[in-house]
Amino acid sequence: MEAMFYEKLDNGSVLCKLCNHRCVIKPDGYGVCKVRQNIKGVLETLVYGKLVAINPDPIEKKPLYHFMPGTLSYSVATAGCNFKCSFCQNMDISQMPRESAKIEGSLFSPEDVVLDAKRTGCKSISFTYTEPTVFFEFAYDTAKLAHEQGLKNIFVSNGYMSTKAIDAIAPYLDAANIDLKAFTEDFYKNFCGAKLEPVKKNLSYLKSKGVFLEVTTLLIPGKNDDEKELKMMAEFIVETLGPRTPWHISRFYPAYHMKDISPTPVGKLSQAREIGINAGLRYVYIGNVPGHAGIHTYCPRCGKPVIKRAAYFQIDEYMIKDGCCKYCNFPIDVVEC
């Protein structure tokens, strides 16, 4: 299928405008993502509907803790990613086209996805696991149809898409969890093959488009866990997205090219959470540590837990009524189903 967002150049080359890499692709060549190819001067997407992962997930797994809590989200992905993260937790599918020059998957239509989402009782569709930007055409068509059928749409993304892509998907995109992987250009360059600044700008742009946002940072020992950097990151979220924006600080486990690095100490995660709270964020969570007190939602006024979460992202206790804390009636920033 012909790709969206590209420009034909001289000598048969094309300029891809889907994300901030802005790849100039020669005839028969590929973009950074390895799933968009220049075929005789036409940029083609190689992954349209070719799904490698399909699961009805708890929406909390995305993670989204403040958007339709307790519901299921129909989660889909194709192979490929426009980042090359050394610490990728899903490298078997995100890096498949780059590592093995293969694009596996089973063909589904947007109609198939929407129908099955409704059949399984899901309230939303999440484009997740890899990077939804690289299968944008399929996500766009599916999101548009889902919107017509009363389903919500979610991106779980590295936030590197172009503003043109955001403009196109925004009318149908209800929520997103964006990875803010670090707060230095060196980290993005050395460990992701990308840049920080476009992600910062896109977070602000998505917010301006009315997309509900939550932010995730995978905390890697010795790489992005400096206290000053975390303070700058938290302050950026407060100043740019607002203090009501949930921030998920997730525990790193050895993976891909970082198998020699130990898991994040729980104490470091707790310290990062305190930095976020001290910066003014109302909701800061600790991820990938089952049973930790940092997985619950607390009322910003009275401090009591208003959403208690158990294993496998199940909600044990929900103490919110009409959008307010049942204990003190303080408004809790949550989009209920």
pLDDT digits (tens, 9 = 90+) for 320-330: 999 999 999 99
pLDDT per residue over 176-191, tens digit each?
999 999 999 999 999 9
Q: Is the pLDDT of residue 172 over 90?
A: yes
The average pLDDT across 116-120 equals 98
C-alpha span between 326 and 313 (Å, rounded): 22
Where are the chain's structural domains?
6-45, 50-294, 296-337
pLDDT score recorded for residue 337: 86
pLDDT per residue over 37-61, tens digit each?
999 999 999 999 999 999 999 999 9
36, two tokens: 């968009």
Residue 49: Cβ within 10 Å count: 21
Q: What angle do CA 199, 203, 206 make, to 5 degrees?
A: 130
Cβ neighbours for 238, distance < 8 A, ≥ 6 positions apart: 245, 279, 280, 281
Average pLDDT, the chain: 97
Q: Is the pLDDT of residue 312 over 80?
A: no
The average pLDDT across 160-188 equals 98
Between helices 227-236 and 266-278, what is the axis angle to 10°?
40
The proportion of the chain whose per-residue pLDDT surpasses 70, expressed as a percent, equals 100
C-alpha span between 42 and 7 (Å, rounded): 9
Q: CATH assignment of 50-294, given 3.20.20.70, 1.10.10.10, 3.90.1150.10, 3.30.470.20?
A: 3.20.20.70
- Whether 74 and 156 have beta carbons less than 8 Å apart is answered as no
pLDDT score recorded for residue 267: 97
CB burial of residue 126 (10 Å; 0-12, 13-18, 19+): buried
Q: Is the pLDDT of residue 313 over 90?
A: no
pLDDT per residue over 183-235, tens digit each?
999 999 999 999 999 999 999 999 999 999 999 999 999 999 999 999 999 99
pLDDT per residue over 121-131, tens digit each?
999 999 999 99
